[in-house]
């Protein structure tokens, strides 16, 4: 290995934030806080362990993902309900907000929409912060557990990874076999999952989620949403996933409507203003 003579100087260059977010449109949290004080429950969907379900949330309504019965991680997909090609863009959300998201952060959509699909309005695990290992909760790092990676690393056929759970749920929603629905499944928000990168080797790690029954993550729907949530076979993701070994619990999705007029003259965000000519 040839180490250049100025290696220390090159390493000592201070980092700059990739996307300074001072110009990012901010959610009006005061308005959303006032609206969330007026909520009426409109429905609920129980997600069985090692399985997934879809749910719908109209623009301007709220939804909560609740821990019930025991510590459990959830893998969340979101789509614009009117156009399933516009869906959650985990990588861009990570670039804008960092590796983990919490209250005030948004779930951004794929190109060319590139607008907030949802804004996080309450996070009962916000106290956790970043622990001594560099771990935090609700990551946009991991993609979702899937049977392809499991087959690559361990062999065999396991059918209750989040990817398969979400594929079955979307298949049920669309009335097609899971194999024809799986292209809609995309990189997730890992709700309640505690993850980070090891400082010495840069590897993706997980550890037991700090979530307990009664905890919840709450979202404001910026557009008409279709959601799908999988209760990961990893349970609290303290040991392994892609198997039936971990204790698993259900997750409860609840939807809420604000009182009429509570959102003032709020309107759903418009798609990106880029003209899409790409220089031609």
Which residues contact Zn ion (rule: CB under 5 A)?
145, 162, 232
Question: What gap in Å lies between CA 252 and CA 227, rounded to an integer?
Answer: 13
- In the complex with Zn ion, the residue whose CB is nearer, 223 or 248, is 248
Question: What gap in Å lies between CA 187 and CA 76, rounded to an integer?
Answer: 9
- In the complex with Zn ion, the residue whose CB is nearer, 52 or 125, is 52
- In the complex with Zn ion, the residue whose CB is nearer, 124 or 242, is 242
- In the complex with Zn ion, the residue whose CB is nearer, 51 or 222, is 51
- In the complex with Zn ion, the residue whose CB is nearer, 7 or 245, is 245
Question: What gap in Å lies between CA 164 and CA 260, rounded to an integer?
Answer: 39
Q: How far is the CB of 55 from Zn ion (least distance, A)?
A: 18
Q: How far is the CB of 162 from Zn ion (least distance, A)?
A: 3
Q: How far is the CB of 227 from Zn ion (least distance, A)?
A: 16
Residue 89 CA to its chain's centroid (Å): 9
First-to-final CA distance of the chain: 45
Q: How far is the CB of 108 from Zn ion (least distance, A)?
A: 22
Environment class of 85 (CB within 10 Å of its CB; exposed 0-12, middle 13-18, buried 19+): exposed
Q: How far is the CB of 59 from Zn ion (least distance, A)?
A: 28
Q: Identify the CA nearest to 138 among candidates 87, 195, 95.
A: 195
Question: What gap in Å lies between CA 108 and CA 121, rounded to an integer?
Answer: 15
């Amino acid at each position: 290995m040839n180490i250049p003579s100025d290696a220390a100087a090159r390493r000592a260059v201070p980092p700059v934030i990739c996307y300074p977010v001072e110009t990012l449109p901010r959610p009006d949290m005061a308005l959303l806080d006032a609206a969330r004080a007026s909520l009426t429950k409109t429905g609920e969907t129980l997600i069985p362990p090692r399985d997934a379900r879809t749910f719908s949330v109209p623009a301007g309504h709220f939804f909560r993902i609740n821990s019930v019965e025991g510590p459990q991680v959830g893998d969340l997909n979101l789509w614009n309900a009117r156009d399933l090609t516009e869906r959650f863009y985990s990588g861009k959300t990570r670039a804008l907000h960092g590796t983990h998201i919490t209250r005030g952060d948004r779930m951004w959509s794929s190109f060319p929409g590139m607008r907030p699909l949802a804004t996080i309005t309450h996070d009962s695990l916000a106290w956790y912060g970043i622990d001594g290992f560099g771990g935090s909760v609700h990551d946009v790092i991991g993609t979702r557990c899937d049977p392809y990676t499991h087959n690559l690393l361990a062999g065999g056929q396991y059918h209750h990874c989040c990817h398969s759970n979400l594929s079955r749920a979307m298949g049920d929603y669309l009335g097609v076999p899971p194999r024809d629905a799986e292209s809609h499944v995309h990189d997730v928000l890992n709700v309640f999952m505690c993850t980070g990168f090891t400082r010495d080797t840069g590897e993706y790690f997980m550890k037991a989620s700090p979530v307990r029954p009664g905890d919840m993550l709450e979202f404001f729907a910026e557009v008409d949403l279709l959601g799908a949530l999988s209760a990961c076979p990893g349970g609290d993701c303290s040991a392994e996933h892609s198997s039936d070994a971990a204790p698993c619990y259900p997750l409860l999705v609840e939807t809420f409507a604000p009182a009429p007029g509570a959102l003032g003259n709020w309107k759903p965000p418009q798609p990106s203003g880029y003209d899409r000519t790409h220089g031609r």
